[in-house]
Amino acid sequence: MQKIEAFGEVPLARFGHTVTLVSKKKAVLFGGATGDTGKYVITGDTYIFEIQNKKWTKLEGGGITPAPRAAHSSTSVDTLQMVVYGGATGGGSLASDDLYLLDLRNGEKKAQWMIVPVVGNTPGRRYGHTIIFSKPYLLVFGGNTGTEPVNDVWCLNVDKAPFSWTLLDTVGDQPCVRVYHSAALCSTGSATGMMVVFGGRTGDQTALKDSWGLRRHRDGRWDWVKAPYKPNSDEPLSRYQHSTAFIGPLMLVIGGRTDTVGETVTLEVYDTESSEWKRFSSIQRFRHACFCLDTQLYMHGGFDNESPTVPTDAIMKLDAVQVLKGAPELLEKLENCFGIQPSSGSNTPNSPHGSYSDKSTPTQKEGGIILKKPQIENIEDMEEEKDMKIGKGAKGGNSVETLYTLFLNHLLKPKEWASNEDGIADTEMDRFYFRTNFILSLVEECQRVIESQPMVLKVESPVKVFGDIHGQYQDLMRFFDLWGEPSEKGDIESYDYLFLGDYVDRGSHSLETICLLLALKIKYPTKIHLLRGNHEDKWINNAFGFAEECNTRLNEDPGEPDSVFNRVNELFDWLPLAAIIEDKIVCLHGGIGSTLASLEQIEAIQRPLEVIHEVSTPEQQLVVDILWSDPTDNDSELGIQPNFIRDPNGTGNIVKFGPDRVKQFLENNGMSIILRAHECVMDGFERFAGGQLITVFSATDYCGRHKNAGAVLDITKQSEIIPKLIYPLNNAENNWEESALEKRPPTPPRWSSGNRSDSHE
């Protein structure tokens, strides 16, 4: 533990208060009791702690301020926004059941307190409870109502107005009543999205040592899961008036009191992946406040065993990397989560909390750690510093430029992603670092651009043509790193970029992929071209990864009409179905199927277009042909053939088309070549129909199963087609969604040993 020497308007020593992290730079102290346990004063003070500068500032906020209180609970609900609920006001009285919001987005001088308007019942007055924000749900659990301890759970959805509290009807086992327990949100690993509760004190004053996780199922049900404790591991001490925090998949339990007065309380770590507990020595504290930033844990105020009646004003910092030095298996968890490993250096002056930075190279040392993986960390800081005000439907050049610049600055980083030869670990996908309203604004601005362009795009050469990406964001960055990126420092002035669809699903980074492409489309509307693939369809991407990724990484319900998932799919309904390069090359996602004879047929399709899979009209069949059909297995198979792999039920809607169909289509339309994607091909590209059709596939090692190369087709001004290849990384399977693979195995690659004469061209 390291004592932080803070300065400024240092708050009085206190206990029973809260300190809430509201950005990467700031934490907010509220309330608590000052003085000793025999004579104390309950306060409603609010202070800002600037983490980097170690400076305290008393906040004189306007609006409706909360009454003084202690033993309340608080949590951050967005950058520079936090809520406070409940608490005790002294003399046996309890604070009101109002939910208070502190808004710091306009700066500290214009900070505003307000009461959040709610309708219906509330959790009621209580103290010694917990409140957690698992986006978009506020969750209040347990505490004492003034007459008895309780174990009820109340939920408020911040995305649904008018706001109302709901008493959750959980089924099965549930934690017993408790007060002065702790709760924290897990955002990594198998317990992602869970509010995890530990310890506390029951109605008969007995300390507890059990852990429970509250989870929400996709059908809206909530239930409790008791955390298993592995036999023979260090079982935790029963305690109350402690705190907990998650660092990656590890839950740290800090301080507290036991049933034995003055007992030394260790710091204990629970590994949610192995169910093991480990003990470490630590400073003694109870009735303190705690917050966590990256791998650093900060503890303020409270009592210790040496002075159990007089609180402290000290801030102590705990470096988890240093604490866990004696437990290599736990250090490995931090390495996997944060891309760090122990080093001998001390924290540098430029890294006050021993963190990591997205501005660093893979070998740069900072703050006692070695950076290993690309990180996106400072978005909230950038938003705060620039005071960006981007709302849904933002209009005007400056706001739109700020919008796409925000995404491009943090997503278009080819060298950082391409340099990681071991693949990106699963833990990289636990959080997506953009606000929901920014993503929605990005989608709206991009849709405005796409709606203004035709169903069949006209594209000039030179142009790079990409096949399926499937959320394999690292492969996209590798292409940009090797063969040029679409930016001013890249080759956007001389090249167009054409993407043939299937941007989402299967891979674990669909959000990065689609947000980057949408931002590029807004910035370069006539240079970036996005066609629709068969996975740009809500009925498909609801099942094969994208919906689950939105649920996990954005903590949203994909079924809600205003979710990012639904809004992105509304945009997909406007994507064009085809492009023509220099009036010679036809580009589409799947193929020509049994019904596509002329480009005029595509031009006549109206948007927005919902793909209908149970075909009942000629146009519906035409759309399925364009998005879903494949060439026959070789040049000797002519006409229209069944496609049993994609259509196992034999409906006849999804077919294969022979080389004779390709030749006839090109002659009828005065074209020379068809470029399409849709199928995994082992060399990243493959010729068919004597070279008149080329399949391109840009995701390597498809679903971690096929070890295929990826390709992009470079089409020169002279209409030469030059494939540019990348090959699988060592651990590329980490980038594929296993849950999506369990629902449906990947479509087999387009070749079988020697049965195609051109399969290795």
Enumerate the active-site residues: 535
Closest CA to 123 of 148, 96, 100, 104: 96
Count of beta carbons in the 10 Å neighbourhood of residue 234? 16
Tell me the two tokens of residue 596. 């596509």
Q: What is the DSSP string of 525-538?
A: TTTEEE---TTSSH
Tokens 């936090």 sit on residue: 82
Q: What is the DSSP string of 361-426?
A: -TT-EETTEE--S-----HHHHHHHHT----TT--SHHHHHHHHHHHHHHH--HHHHHT-TT---G
How far apart (Å, rounded) are the C-alpha atoms in residues 711 and 699?
8
Q: How many Cα atoms are found within 13 Å in the side-chain-facing hemisphere of 357?
A: 15
Q: Are 351 and 371 in contact (CB under 8 A)?
A: no
Which residues fall within 8 angstroms of residue 385, CB to CB, at 6 or more apart? none
How far apart (Å, rounded) are the C-alpha atoms in residues 261 and 332?
36
How far apart (Å, rounded) are the C-alpha atoms in residues 467 and 680?
9
How far apart (Å, rounded) are the C-alpha atoms in residues 597 and 337?
52
User: At residue 239, what is the residue type?
Assistant: R
Q: What is the DSSP string of 587-612?
A: E-SS--TTT---HHHHHT--SS-PPP
Q: What is the DSSP letter of 539?
A: H
Closest CA to 79 of 435, 390, 552: 435
Q: How many Cα atoms are found within 13 Å in the side-chain-facing hemisphere of 301?
A: 26
Beta strands in 104-242 (DSSP E): 112-115, 118-119, 130-134, 137-144, 149-157, 163-167, 182-185, 195-201, 207-216, 222-226
User: At residue 399, what is the residue type?
Assistant: S
How far apart (Å, rounded) are the C-alpha atoms in residues 237 and 77?
31
Any idea what the Cα angle at residue 751 is, between residues 749 and 755, rounded to 5°?
160
How far apart (Å, rounded) are the C-alpha atoms in residues 183 and 171?
20
